Amino acid sequence: MKIWCIIIFTLLLVDCANAQPGGSLTTTQASTIALQLANDKASSIYKCQPFRDGRPACFVDGHWVWMNQRGYGHGDFQVTVELADDGSTNSVDLKLLDSQNELPFP
């Protein structure tokens, strides 16, 4: 699972290097909005705000994408926030990856 996250994150970084931002937001503004949305969702579900400054948002295929991952307890929070080019929210996908109950490998 972590390998797939690393692969997807790497592909997004490659796209970020080639993308030109559009719309009315700067990279800093998009990153700030995404960070706030991620912490708002984590706060409403898990009563914590684990995300801090991380990598900047990337403008990919006409919208902003911001990803972050933070350790928490026995697991990790992983979030992907997608914003329209004007900053309106497209989606906030928050996951708690719990490593406490992993299946043993033979």
The band of 18, judged by pLDDT with boundaries at 50, 70 and 90, is very low
Top-confidence residue, 105 or 57: 57
Q: What is the C-alpha to C-alpha distance for residues 70 and 68, in angstroms, rounded to an integer?
A: 7
Instruction: Please choose, from the candidates 36, 33, 34, 38, the residue with its C-alpha nearest in 3D space to the C-alpha of residue 94.
Output: 38
Place of tokens 């700030």: 32
Instruction: Please choose, from the candidates 91, 92, 88, the residue with its C-alpha nearest in 3D space to the C-alpha of residue 24.
Output: 88
Residue 101 C-beta-side C-alpha neighbours within 13 Å: 3
Around Cβ 65, how many Cβ atoms within 10 Å? 21
How much is the pLDDT for 59? 95
